[in-house]
Every structure is written in structure tokens, then in C-alpha cells.
Amino acid sequence: MTVSGHIVVVGSCRVDLLARVPRLPAPGETGAGSGLAEEVGGKGANQAVAARRLGAAVRLVARVGRDSRGDAILDALRAEGVDVTAVGRAPAATGVALVTVEEATGARTVVVVPGANHALLPDDVEGAAPLFAGAAVVVTQLEVPVDTAARALALGRRYGARTVLNPAPAVPLPGGLLPLADYLIPNERELARLVGGRAATATEIEAAARSLLASGPGEVIVTLGARGALRVTRLGSALEAPPEAVAVDTTGAGDAFVGAFAQGLAADLDPLAAVRHANHASALSVARPGARSSFARAEEMHTWRNR
Ligand code: ADP
């Protein structure tokens, strides 16, 4: 795949602290954990890495703290080849998530402490404007303040880039936000929360996506786990199935999808081809353990396709 313009990701960086427990403790209870692990993540950084591994040139606009977790995040991003010129140090602690995973079921509790991610303000995005010149695609999510995400999309428009909004986590959106997104990519749960209703059956999911489409994005792409992705446009809708995969760990599947979709667009795929490409990349990532560590590389996509 050829590389055209670069991608700008405006989003979060985080360290996830994970512990395994035999059973999730009830409120007031203390559980004995094991297997403590520390992983770099955050939707912004993960989507930047997913796109980079597939061959895109990626610049990240983000904030970390002046602490060792911030150093670890920057080191990991540099090692992947992501441009971190616009990852600044905020006077707040680096974002952290506390994750407890129940061994037998995989059920988890997650507490996110945004820290420095909430110090990324619209003016900081504006300050990074030179990075947007020549961008093919601008991607953002909602682990940074919603006004910051809005400014990222607006700046993307100003510079003629295609804009992608992954509304995760789903928070109430200001009226002017969705028209700034060429591609809105929620998962099923986010879709239901955004429309404030049920989105469980195929009919409900399509109706919910259509109601979001009426609020102004260019198109809505709903990721549906093993079922793939439903693309809803003003011309119609189509479900694109992923290649069959034996899922061993679906953590980060959404980030793998969004990063690959953005990279596909930046490499001049049309949106349908970019959705199929993203299905391939994320199916590959769910077939192995880990979140970021499972993201596909360009050369693996080739092998996978030809199987
Ligand atoms: P999230 O991680 O946000 O919950 P999804 O679960 O919808 O996102 O997964 C994102 C994408 O990952 C899907 O659209 C699909 O392409 C791929 N995917 C997820 N689970 C599977 C699976 N079991 N088999 C194949 N592909 C999968």
C-alpha cells in the first residue's frame, strides 16, 4: 500500500496497571491479586501505534505528566516511530487506568484516572497547527476533553484532511461536534449510549446509526465485534464481516480497527476498502494476546490475506 499524507492523532496516553484476581472483590472486600502488569495504552496512543505499524506516518498530539510513567509512554511511542513532537508534559500526573481481571471469566473492572489527558486543551491543539499541514487524516477520541476533540476535527477540516471521530468513551456531545466528523466510528455500546436507547438487534443498531447520521457526520461505521462493522451512509448500509479469527483477547480491538481505518484512508483506500482493511487488521489482533502488543504490522497483513 502506498503512503500519501500523514495522520494526526489528537488523543490520550495512559499507563494501565493490571492485576488478576480469582474473583472480583465486592465493595468493602479486599481481593488477593497476582500477575501485576504495567502496560502503556490510551486510545490516542494506541490508535497512533496501530496506524504506524501498518505503514502510516503518524504525529500524536497529547499530554503526559512530568513523571516516570510519562517517560515510559514517550519511549514506547518513539520506539514505534510515532512523531511525539506535540506530546507535551502537563503539570498533572500521567493518566492511569486500574484494571482488575477475574481469572476464570475474563470479567474486568476498570477505573480511569485521566490526569494529564484532561490538561490537553483546544489551545494546545491550535498550538500544534503546523503538524496538521499536509495531513491526509485527523483522528480523535473522547478520552481528552470534548472541546479538544472538537478543535482537532475543526483544524483537520481547515487543513483539508479527512476527519475521524471515535466517540469513546461515549459522553454527551455538543451539537456542533458530529458535523465536523467525516467518519464516526462507535462500537455497539457507545452507539446505544449516544442515542440514549437500545441498540441490540440488527434493526435497532441500524436505526440508531441512522439517527446519528442525521446529526451530521459524513458516515457512521459501527464496530460489532466478531460480526465486523456496519457502514451506514446516506446511500445505504452494509455489514462487512471480518475474516474468521479465533479470539484469544479482544482488548484494544476497537483501537486496532480505528487506527487501521485511518491508515487505509491515508493510503488512498476508499472508505469501503478501508473498512475491510480495518476488519482484517483487527481480526488479526484479537487472535493473539495483549492490546497494543497484538496490533498487526504491514507485512503480516499480506500473509493473512493470502492464507
Ligand atoms: P471494541 O474493542 O471497541 O469493543 P469491537 O469489539 O466492536 O470493538 O471490535 C472492533 C473490531 O475488531 C470489529 O469490528 C472486528 O473487525 C474486530 N473483531 C473483534 N472481535 C472479533 C472476532 N472475534 N473475530 C474477528 N474480528 C473481530
Burial class, 38, CB count within 10 angstroms (exposed 0-12 / middle 13-18 / buried 19+): exposed
Task: Give the residue carrying C-alpha cell 496516553.
Answer: 13
Residue 307 clears pLDDT 50, i.e. is over it = no
Residue 116 clears pLDDT 90, i.e. is over it = yes
- The pLDDT value recorded for residue 248 is 87
Give Cα separations from 269 to 186, 263, 264 (angstroms). Answer: 21, 9, 5
- For ligand 1, pick from 257, 261, 304 the residue to mutate: most ligand atoms within 8 Å of CB: 257
pLDDT tier, 126 (very low <50, low <70, confident <90, very high otherwise): very high
**pLDDT tens-place string over residues 181-200:** 999 999 999 999 999 988 99
- The pLDDT value recorded for residue 3 is 58
How far, in Å, from the CA of 89 to the mean position of ligand 1? Answer: 33
pLDDT tier, 1 (very low <50, low <70, confident <90, very high otherwise): low
Ligand 1, CB cutoff 6 Å, lining residues: 187, 223-226, 228-229, 242, 245, 247, 250, 253-254, 257, 279, 282-283, 286
Residue percentage of the chain with pLDDT more than 70: 97
Higher pLDDT, 12 or 1: 12
Higher pLDDT, 245 or 89: 89
Atom of ligand 1 nearest to the CA of 190: 3
**pLDDT tens-place string over residues 11-53:** 999 999 999 999 999 999 998 999 999 999 999 999 999 999 9
pLDDT tier, 306 (very low <50, low <70, confident <90, very high otherwise): very low
How far, in Å, from the CA of 110 to the mean position of ligand 1? Answer: 19
27-36, 70-79, 220-229: segment of lowest average pLDDT: 27-36
Looking at ligand 1, which residue's alpha carbon is closest to its atom 19?
A: 225
Residue percentage of the chain with pLDDT more than 90: 89
Whether 255 sits among the annotated catalytic residues: the reply is yes
CA separation for the pair 52, 58 (Å, rounded): 6
Looking at ligand 1, which residue's alpha carbon is closest to its atom 6?
A: 225
Q: Where are the alpha helices (DSSP H) in the chain?
A: 43-53, 68-80, 122-127, 146-158, 188-195, 202-213, 253-266, 271-286, 298-305
**pLDDT tens-place string over residues 255-292:** 999 999 999 999 999 999 999 999 999 999 999 988 89
**pTM, two decimal places:** 0.96
Instruction: Give the active site residue among 75, 147, 255, 268.
Output: 255
**pLDDT tens-place string over residues 197-217:** 889 999 999 999 999 999 999
How far, in Å, from the CA of 114 to the mean position of ligand 1? Answer: 25
CA separation for the pair 278, 230 (Å, rounded): 12
Residue 267 phi, psi (nearest 5): -95, 20
pLDDT tier, 305 (very low <50, low <70, confident <90, very high otherwise): low
State the number of CA atoms in the 13 A half-sphere of 83 facing the CB. 15
How far, in Å, from the CA of 34 to the mean position of ligand 1? Answer: 28
Among candidate residues 49, 16, 95, 104, the one with its CA nearest the CA of residue 263? 49
How far, in Å, from the CA of 183 to the mean position of ligand 1? Answer: 18
Atom of ligand 1 nearest to the CA of 188: 7
